[in-house]
Structure 1
């Protein structure tokens, strides 16, 4: 389930920015400043997060009754989330972006610790996942009214187990890199719609626990739609 309070905060910030961008004072800026502002856009999108699963044998993990290491399987839930992006577009082929995403889902490990030592046969770790990335973005020539773009970059994903569903595990960050492709459809000079597809790659979290360290490289697929604003 989504964290309603966090998403409400995101939308509140968005509404404040909408009011700021719509303010007539933008027209009073100096030409040099206005030229820079014209290169900036701010977008908010709803995204689906379709997460990969995997398995591995931890170096110090659960064993069977004979002491043979057991394979730990990871199954990650799918969910909905939010993506916020700020872009600075110098020219069609030269642009930069910063991204923030938020989603909540459950990482289910089977087994969760050694059964012979009191571990569970299976347990889920409810997690708040936040992506912080920077990237390069380029736009190709228009296709009818649509303006296609491609972007790629890197950063980090912070995995924060929830208070009541996180199995008392600690927060962990993983390096991440991504690519995205999409289109913008300008409704007006200052407002438009955006549709895109992203894929983010990272090492599956183990929350600092040796018995969960499967060293599995995974990814999440993120189709999304939303809107963007320009000054």
Structure 2
């Protein structure tokens, strides 16, 4: 009876120790494609090029299924604005700093996940031969990140990670009233990369 009671008391501690030995943190690096849609409003039309870039993420698992993630993304785009008086291009840096709550589904080596959270999105003009105005200024907008993807385990330390990410944010105007659409749009942001667990 005493042995059974001792075993019953030690079982939760053994499970906790086993979970503690599993890797609960990972960092990942991914290639990304920032794909903004056409947006129109306030007599302004905005087309933008696809911005190829990179995404770096840090993820910490609170439980085997729930984790927190921090993201930084960088890409470059060309924004093409049209309104009744202007037709101009602005070459810009797109940067994302976001946090998300992640929920993982565990199926052997394939681990699908969903995530969502707030972010800050920075549109900074690059003053080069593509940008056609010198008065453009930086835009910082608050938006929402959501996504779904998978992690395929290659080894206990490495996995391949692919994801569709969506970003809902107000379209940039670069401080110019005549470029303001007053519209939110949904940027598609597919990514693929590798993650290292430690």
Q: 2:64 aligns with which of 92, 108, 114?
A: 92
**What residue is the counterpart of 1:178 in the other structure?**
145
Q: CA deviation at 1:37?
A: 8.7
Superposed CA deviations along residues 131-172 of structure 1, whole A, max 9, x for unmatched, are: 000110010131x52111111011110110002134221111
Relative distance call for 1:36 and 1:175 in structure 2 (3 A) is farther
Name structure 1 gaps, 5 residues minimum. Answer: 1-31, 58-70
Equivalent pair of 1:92/1:138 in contact (CA under 8 Å): no
Q: 1:202 aligns with which of 169, 172, 175?
A: 169
Cα distance per residue 1:157-213 (max 9 Å; x no partner): 011000213422111101111111111111111111111110001000111111111
- Over the aligned positions, Cα root-mean-square deviation in angstroms equals 1.9
Aligned residue number for residue 13 of structure 1: none
Q: Secondary structure at the match of 1:200?
A: strand
Which of 37, 57, 76 aligns to 1:52? It is 37
2:97 pairs with one of 128, 132, 136: 132
Q: Number of residues paired by the alignment?
A: 178
Higher helix share: 1
Corresponding residue of 2:194? 227
Residues 52-110 of structure 1: per-residue CA shift (max 9 Å, x gap): 111112xxxxxxxxxxxxx2111111131111110001213321000111110111111
TM-score normalised according to structure 1 size: 0.72
- Contact persistence 2:65–2:106 (CA under 8 A): no
Counting only pairs closer than 5 Å after superposition, residues 87-126 of structure 1 correspond to structure 2 as 87-111=59-83, 115=85, 120=86, 122-126=87-91
Match of 1:149 in 2: 113
Give the TM-score normalised by the residue count of structure 2.
0.84
Partner Cα distance (2:47, 2:78) in 1:
8
